[in-house]
Each structure stands twice: as C-alpha cells, then as structure tokens.
Structure 1
Amino acid sequence: MGSKGQRAPLRRQQVYEQLRHAMESGHLAPGSRLPATREHARTLGVSRNTLLWAMARLQAEGYVQARVGDGSYVSPGLAVASGTVGLSALPTGLSRRGQLMAETVRQWNPPRQAASAFRIGAPEVTSFPFATWDRLGRQLSAAERRASAQYLDPAGEPALREAIAQWLWASRGIRCEAGRVLVCSGSQQAIDLIGRLLLDVGDEVWVEDPGYPGLRASLLGHGAQVRPVPLDDEGLCLAEAEARWPQARLAVVTPTHQFPTGVAMSLARRQALLDWARRQQAWVVEDDYDGEFQYGPHRLPALCSLPQADRVLYVGTFSKTLHPGLRLGFVVLPAAWVPAFAMARALSDRHPPGDSQRVLARFIADGHLLRHLRRMRDLYPERQRQLIQALAEVSDGALCLTPSERGMHLCCPLPDAVDDQWLSHQAAARGVVLMPLSRYTVAAPRRGWLFGYAGFEPAELQAAAQRLGPVWRHAWAAARRAGAPA
C-alpha cells in the first residue's frame, strides 16, 4: 500500500512533464483544443484524477486555458519556435559566436525525457549486458583504477583506440591505425570538433536535406554557411550541390542509411563524392550512426573503406550500438591532425572518463560487443515486423510501411502537400512520440512520418499504435485527398 502511494505522485509528475514538453516543443500547438479529460486519461493509460492534477498544474502555470462550457486549450500566447522549445528573445551580452550558439536551440532541442514509442534513435537498453559490463569493471586492477583516476590522454586511452581500430577493420572494412582514432563523447562532439578545427566563419558546408538538425545546429553555431542539398534514390544530389555551391569546403553525409529517409548512397554516387573531395581539396564527413544494423545477406561497406577515401573523416558512436548513457564515440582522422583535435577537446572537455574507456576496451576485445550486436540484429528486424503489423491493423490496412534491411526506424513518405505535423500533434496528446519528416527539412518539401521501433517491446509498439487508432482514418483520408498513392 505504501509503495502504491509513493508511485501515484511520481505518475502525476510524469504526466505533467509529458504534457508540458508537448506544449513547449510545439507538438501541442498554441491555441489547440485538448481532448476531454476522460478520453485523454484513457488514451494515456492513467486515471482521470492523475490527468486532472497535471492539467490543474499546467493551468496554474499558464500553459493551459480552461473555457467554461468549451473545454481546455493550449495557451495561445505560448512561445514555440519552429518545432523546438521557443525563446522569446536571445540573451543579451553574448559575443557574435555566442549569439550563434544560443540560436542553435531554435534549430535543435535534444530530447531530455525517457524514450517511448515511436521515438527514433532509441536503442534497446533492457537487453544490454549490464552484468557483464559490471563484471569487467570489477576486474580492473588496483593499478588500473589508480591510473584511470589521473588526468588522461585527451585523445583517448590507448587500449580503447586499439580496440576501436581492430573493430572497424573487422566490422566495417576500414583499415586504420589506432593512432588515427580520437575518442570523444559521441558523434555530436565529433562534429563540433570538426567544425571548430576545419571551418572558418562563412565557409560553406553541404548537408543532406532532410537531415539531422543537431548537425546543422552545430555547424551554424560555428558560423558556417550550411547549404541543404536535396536527395534522390541514390543519395546526395551531388551535381546540384556542385552547381549551386562550388566553393564548399565540407560535405556531411550518412551514406549507409541516410537519416532520416533510409536511402543508401549508390556506389556511383559515393565514388563521385570522393572524386569531388579530391578535386576541390575538400573533406567528407561520414556519419555512420547506425551502420552496424544491417539485416540482409549483404552488408554495405563504409564509405571510408573505399579506395581513394583519404579525404573522408569517419564518425562513429556507441550510443546506438550500446546505449546513449555511455557517452562514448570516436572519429577517425588523418594522423597529423590527431594532436590538434586532442588539444581542442582538452580545452573544453579535458578527456573521456577513464574507467569507462578501459571497460569498453575489454568489452570489445573479449567479443561482448559482437555478441550484443548479433542479438540486436536478430531482435530489431522482428520488432520492425511487429511495428508494421500493428500499424496495418489499427489503420485497417491503410498504413503499410515498407520493410527495410537497415536501421532502427522506418520512414512513411507522404505527398508534399500533406500537413505531417497534424498527426504528430495528435500523437503527442495521446502520449505517443511520432516525428514528422518536415521537422528534419530545410528547403526540401518532403513530408512523412518517422516510426522508431528498435528500443521498444512489442506490447509498447502495439499500445502506441492503438492509441493512435481513432485518428489514423482522418489523417490517412487527408493524405489520400492530397494525392497519396492507393
């Protein structure tokens, strides 16, 4: 009884935070009408009293307005900036570069809540071998622990750099020496370092459109001119990019599994990109964010593994292969650059955590990473199948996603004229994360929905699909009227 009493306030707080985030991020648009509390509580899977408590607090804080006889509405004056947490004004007193950094919140607002269906980019963490990880940590000798407690090499522990180099050769066909590997806190820090050391203010950078907002935000924060390049069924439209922005110094691509559309860059397009980099003395950043998750009989090699790829900087992360809480990733650089990159990292972050590096090195060397990935490569396709089935059932067969042999999410493209934000708002009101494809575009007219499946149990996928059941028919009918194929 005491345990149940302790859980109730926690659940109320979670519902409150979920609804507040939906309003601040624009999922629940200013001025939009909220569902009736009984229906809303039922779709969220909570008691009506829990929802009423959360709504009362939101009303007291100004997020919600109650209109007698007409229900509750999101406050019309709530500041929301283009799908991210809004700022009414940028802070004063910052430098020009500081202003650019502050502006990035308008471009990218990373999630801070626990992952729930259908959030993209969330790996399976329940199956992570925590016991094995803890055991490897306990096996560190006293001397190793003392060494890890000191200031360390900002480029990373030698054992981990060696393990990563060996892993890249075995898994992705990339030949590199350990001395070319720089350990960092995930791919976002790698992009930040590349922007700081390779770009001057005003330099042009090609990025994929649609593409990852966190990448664009980082580059914009460094004063780069970010040039959105459209995609076709072979990947980055290189000819258009060259014609429009011939002076670009850098191109950032996700060639194995384009984020977020899922397109794989063709071999011809890869080779053309490498030729461009060599001719222009430019650089290509390969973000291989989920390249380990390929489920077909034939795996696409990394761009960095091709001949003449000496101008490719390879960025990898353990946030998808293991879990994002680890905060470890890496970038493969020309050997001559590693000291400069290491010092740039040291200026802001000193070095990666010692114990975690040593444990990860053993985790890779002892074969645990390979075994974990094998389990995930079996698990994720099955969850993808369950997602497709659940969505088809709740939409009476109208929503039939195309299976993919790569990645952790599926993209459902829609006609360009469709408002893909509407269903996302409805999903947020029902406690479901459904990202619109338009959230990831700059100039591209593409529209669609993104469904993450990797990190969620079948029951959670089914429940999320069921919550959206009442609005599927309306949304799909609107898509058909706009010209979606039958």
Structure 2
Amino acid sequence: DHLLSARGLRCDPDQIMLTSGTLHALRIVLSAILRAGDQVWCEDPGYPAARKTFAHCGYRAVPVPVDEHGMRIAKGRIAAPSARAAYVTPSHQFPLGVQMSMPRRLELLDWAKRAGAFILEDDYDSEFRYDGAPLMSLAGIDRLQRVIYLGTFAKTLFPGLRIGYCALPERLIADVTAARAALDRFPGTLMEGAVADMLNSGAFAANLKRVRKLYREARDVLAETLEAASDGALSVPVPSQGLHLVARFDPSVDLTVAAQAKQAGGAEGWLLADTYSRTRPLPGFVLGFSGHAVPQLVASAERLARESRSALRAKSKPVRRA
C-alpha cells in the first residue's frame, strides 16, 4: 500500500523480499539473474559501493555516462550491447542529483525488454521530495516486468534498523527465493512488525512530514552558506530531492584542490571525483545535510568554503624557479 501511494507501484505482498539493506538485496538478486562475467550498466558518476559489490560478486560493471537527463542509454548500447542488467538511481541520481527524464526512462525500459535484461531501480531517498511531485517509479511504469525495485528504511527511520526491501517481477520470485535461502536462510525479523505497525498507523507518514521540513531548512542553509562563504568559488545547485547536495568548482580547477580543501576543512562525505569511473571527473564535494544541527552545518560549510578558497589560491600561485 505504501509503494502504491508513494511511488505508483502496484505489487502483491509475495513480490516483496525484506533484506538488511540495498547492497544485501543486490547480492541476492544478482546471484539469481546473472552468471559470473555478465555485464551490468552502471551510472558514471555513480554509487561506488554498488560498483564494488558487482565486482566482488564476479560481474563486470560497465560505466555509462550521465547527463542532466540521467543515464545516456545510447552510450550504454555502444559500450555493452550484451549487458544483462542496468543499475540506476532514476529518482535522484547519485551523486549529481538529476532526475531521469521520462524519454530516458522509456528508452531504458525499451532496451531492457528488447535485450531480455533487468533494471535494478535503486529508489533511495525518494521519500524526501521538496519541490513538486516526483515522476512515477520505473517499476510503476513497467508494472514490475523487467524492473527490480530497491528501497530501504535506513534514511526514513534510522540506519541501525537494517531493514531494506526489493519488489520483484513475478517471474523471479522462485529463483530469488532459492538464492535467498542459500545465502541468508534465517534473517532477523524482530523489528519488521514494529515497522509494519508504523506504516499502518500513519506514524511513518507523520514522521516523514516532520523531517522533510527539517531537511529542507538544512539543505537551504548549507547551499547558501557554501556559495556565500566561498565567494563564488563553489557552485551549489539546490536539489529538489534527497539528503545530499553537490558543491562544484569550475571544471577547469585541478582535482587536487578539492582533495586539499576537504582534508584541511575536516569535511566528511565524498569527493565528487571519487564517484567517477571513466568519464572525466569534476572537482567538488558530495555533502550530506541530514542529522546535523543548523549551527553545525553553518560552521562546517564556512570552514570548507574557507579552505576551498585557500586551496584555490595556493594552486594558482606561480612556482618560483631557483
């Protein structure tokens, strides 16, 4: 019922498998649908942990460039025409934050149907939408034919809960269930009833409404502080969804500037360059804004902006020759 109302995804309870998180779901599902050496399209830039999971399990991650409309499907067809799966974050691309356009969604679904491949839709942070209505999930458009939908309660409740889930096409239920039994026969179920009660009682929806307001304020404060305190050195597009934003230098800036500023400023999060595989990386930072008091965000943003200016000045100074 939650997936239908929130993401336009209609499915039977038997199609839902609970896991300890997205990566756990990936390991189980991929073992049921792929063979060692099979190719998987991955967004570039994209989620490094997912790429590591594919490699560790013996699959070949193929980087596919991302632009302002999402994954470039035509590039994927050229890079790996025989790929058996595609891993995407269409609602809020990690890390760039773009939303996959409807034409790209339909193009991706058409590829999967023609290729007999599956799409792994990681719909992380889809609950945190601040501006306008989101596009329907890929799985909702596809009606769970070629799309495997991945979600988690790590952000909407708390990470230590360790409850994620996937919604499966009916044709995969038997194979995925067999893989689950072989890999993880006795999962912990103690907290599942409590989460079900929250969903049924309306407490889950009430909590989302409350934290959206907090996170919107945190997002705006972080973006405004970074741009103002950096004197324009950092460009910070304000995302309409999610719990992170990207602060970018001009593309011409050396990648070491961001690395030096991050270390000197004591900032956590990713370097934007670390999320790229083959596409030319952009200099900047991937910064989360949830779970922090506003004064802490302001102080941290001012410190990172100050160190960014310092690193830029140091890099632009001419080297004196003896």
Shared fold per TM-score greater than 0.5 = yes
Task: Confirm whether residue 278 of structure 1 aligns to residue 118 of structure 2.
Answer: no
Task: Find the residue that maps to 2:191 and give its secondary structure.
Answer: helix
Supply the distance in 1 between the matched residues of 2:139 and 2:126 (Cα, whole angstroms). Answer: 12
Give 1:333's aligned amino acid. L
Q: Decide which of 266, 272, 290 is 1:454's aligned counterpart.
A: 290
Q: Decide which of 389, 397, 419 is 2:254's aligned counterpart.
A: 419
- Taking structure 1 as reference, are residues 433 and 252 closer, same or farther at Cα in structure 2, changes over 3 Å only? same
- Taking structure 1 as reference, are residues 476 and 302 closer, same or farther at Cα in structure 2, changes over 3 Å only? farther
Residues 147 and 169, structure 2, Cα contact 8 Å, conserved in 1: no
Residues 314 and 333, structure 1, Cα contact 8 Å, conserved in 2: yes
Task: Find the residue that maps to 1:387 and give its secondary structure.
Answer: helix
Match of 2:138?
303
Q: Percent identity?
A: 37
Task: Confirm whether residue 200 of structure 1 aligns to residue 35 of structure 2.
Answer: yes
Match of 1:106?
none
- Taking structure 1 as reference, are residues 412 and 429 closer, same or farther at Cα in structure 2, changes over 3 Å only? closer
Structure 1 residues 5-41: Cα deviation after superposition (integer angstroms, max 9, x where no partner): xxxxxxxxxxxxxxxxxxxxxxxxxxxxxxxxxxxxx
Give 1:304's aligned amino acid. A
Task: Confirm whether residue 168 of structure 1 aligns to residue 3 of structure 2.
Answer: yes
Give 2:84's aligned amino acid. R
Of residues 469-478 and 399-408 in structure 1, the stretch that sits farther from structure 2 once superposed is 469-478
Task: Find the residue that maps to 1:261 and give its secondary structure.
Answer: coil
Task: Find the residue that maps to 1:341 and give its secondary structure.
Answer: helix
Supply the distance in 2 between the matched residues of 1:277 and 1:313 (Cα, whole angstroms). Answer: 12
Give 1:196's aligned amino acid. S
Task: Find the residue that maps to 1:220 and give its secondary structure.
Answer: helix
Match of 2:102?
267
- Taking structure 1 as reference, are residues 378 and 479 closer, same or farther at Cα in structure 2, changes over 3 Å only? farther
Task: Confirm whether residue 399 of structure 1 aligns to residue 249 of structure 2.
Answer: no
Deviation at 1:309, TM superposition (A): 5.1
Deviation at 1:213, TM superposition (A): 1.0
Match of 1:91?
none
Supply the distance in 2 between the matched residues of 1:360 and 1:371 (Cα, whole angstroms). Answer: 13
Residues 149 and 166, structure 2, Cα contact 8 Å, conserved in 1: yes
Give 1:436's aligned amino acid. L
Task: Find the residue that maps to 1:406 and give its secondary structure.
Answer: coil
Count of aligned pairs between the two proteins: 316
Supply the distance in 2 between the matched residues of 1:198 and 1:475 (Cα, whole angstroms). Answer: 47
- Taking structure 1 as reference, are residues 268 and 245 closer, same or farther at Cα in structure 2, changes over 3 Å only? same
Task: Find the residue that maps to 1:375 and give its secondary structure.
Answer: helix
Supply the distance in 2 between the matched residues of 1:342 and 1:253 (Cα, whole angstroms). Answer: 23
Deviation at 1:308, TM superposition (A): 6.0
Match of 1:210?
45
Q: 1:12-31 alignment to 2 at 5 Å?
A: none
Supply the distance in 2 between the matched residues of 1:309 and 1:413 (Cα, whole angstroms). Answer: 37
Q: 1:236-251 alignment to 2 at 5 Å?
A: 236-251=71-86
Supply the distance in 2 between the matched residues of 1:370 and 1:479 (Cα, whole angstroms). Answer: 49
Deviation at 1:474, TM superposition (A): 2.7
Deviation at 1:377, TM superposition (A): 1.5
Supply the distance in 2 between the matched residues of 1:191 and 1:480 (Cα, whole angstroms). Answer: 44
Task: Confirm whether residue 467 of structure 1 aligns to residue 303 of structure 2.
Answer: yes
Match of 2:12?
177
Deviation at 1:307, TM superposition (A): 4.4
Supply the distance in 2 between the matched residues of 1:187 and 1:408 (Cα, whole angstroms). Answer: 17
Task: Find the residue that maps to 2:155 and give its secondary structure.
Answer: helix
Q: 1:341-352 alignment to 2 at 5 Å?
A: 341-352=176-187
Structure-1-length-normalised TM-score? 0.62
Task: Confirm whether residue 188 of structure 1 aligns to residue 23 of structure 2.
Answer: yes
Residues 41 and 62, structure 2, Cα contact 8 Å, conserved in 1: yes
Match of 2:58?
223
Match of 1:369?
204
Supply the distance in 2 between the matched residues of 1:480 and 1:317 (Cα, whole angstroms). Answer: 44
Supply the distance in 1 between the matched residues of 2:280 and 2:271 (Cα, whole angstroms). Answer: 12
Supply the distance in 1 between the matched residues of 2:114 and 2:166 (Cα, whole angstroms). Answer: 23
Match of 1:112?
none
Match of 1:162?
none
Task: Confirm whether residue 289 of structure 1 aligns to residue 124 of structure 2.
Answer: yes
- Structure 2 unaligned residues grouped into runs of 5+: 318-322
Q: Decide which of 154, 160, 173 is 1:325's aligned counterpart.
A: 160
Supply the distance in 2 between the matched residues of 1:307 and 1:468 (Cα, whole angstroms). Answer: 43
For the pair shown, the structure with the greater C-alpha radius of gyration is 1
